[in-house]
Structure 1
Amino acid sequence: MSNEPTKKILPVFLLCFFLGMFGAHRFYAGKVGTGILQIITLGGLGIWALIDFIMIIIGSFTDSDGNKISEWT
């Protein structure tokens, strides 16, 4: 089994853009705990979701294993 991340940035980007307030991108990345917190706080009133969106765009968003999600397709 390889250590390559299986998550792609395009779905994370789209989920964050459309459903970032509900943490959908965090659930996709395997970060269930913080995804639930984003649901409860509505994405930190939008600030947390915005920070995640910026991190996704610059390629520093990671999955639950700490692997950077950087491949678009």
Structure 2
Amino acid sequence: MIHCTACGKEISESATACPSCGHPNSAATGQVSDKGFVPALLLCFFLGSFGFHRFYVGKVGTGILMLLTLGAFGIWTLIDFIIIAIGNFRDKDGLLLKR
């Protein structure tokens, strides 16, 4: 089971869309983002405290928040780096980054 990226409800990994809100499930459809894994990882490593990796994937709101808090004093940056490294980071549309 996974969580819907739009509403947060728990859905099956094989479901093509969330039964609650109708948001497409990128894990089941096989869609991936046009944003790359390596640039996001490098941006997070070198400029993660400023949220550049979040701006790169289109998450402007959280990018600004990271910029203002310096990546929540590095903790948020470290968490994002780990999520990117294991391949679970998603872009603004909920799609996994392209490998």
TM-score, normalised to structure 1, is 0.90
Shift of 1:70: 4.2
What is the letter of the counterpart of residue 67 of structure 1?
L
Q: Please give the alpha-carbon distance, in whole angstroms, between the structure 2 residues aligned to 1:48 and 1:18.
A: 14
* Superposition CA RMSD, Å: 0.9
Provide the rounded CA distance (Å) in 1 between the counterparts of 2:69 and 2:48: 11
More relative contact order in 1 or in 2 (CA 8 Å, sep 6+)?
1
Q: CA deviation at 1:5?
A: 1.4
For structure 1, the residue ranges without an aligned partner over 5 or more in a row are none
Between structures 1 and 2, the one with greater helix share: 1
Return the letter of the residue paired with 1:51.
I
Looking at CA atoms only, which structure, 1 or 2, has the larger radius of gyration? 2
Q: Does 1:30 align with 2:58?
A: yes
Q: Choose between structure 1 and 2: higher strand proportion.
A: 2
CA contact (8 A) 1:59 1:70 kept: no
Q: Deviations over 1:22-59 (max 9, x none)?
A: 00000000000000000000001000000000000000
59, 66, 69: which is aligned to 2:97? Answer: 69
Aligned counterparts of 2:66 and 2:35: Cα–Cα separation in 1: 20
What amino acid maps onto 2:91 in structure 1? D
Identity rate, percent: 59
Structure 1 residue aligned with 2:48 = 20
Q: Give the 3-state SS of the residue equivalent to 2:64 in structure 1.
A: helix
Aligned length in residues: 69
Between the aligned partners of 1:4 and 1:41, the Cα distance in structure 2 is: 30
- Structure 1 runs (4+) greater than 6 angstroms displaced: none
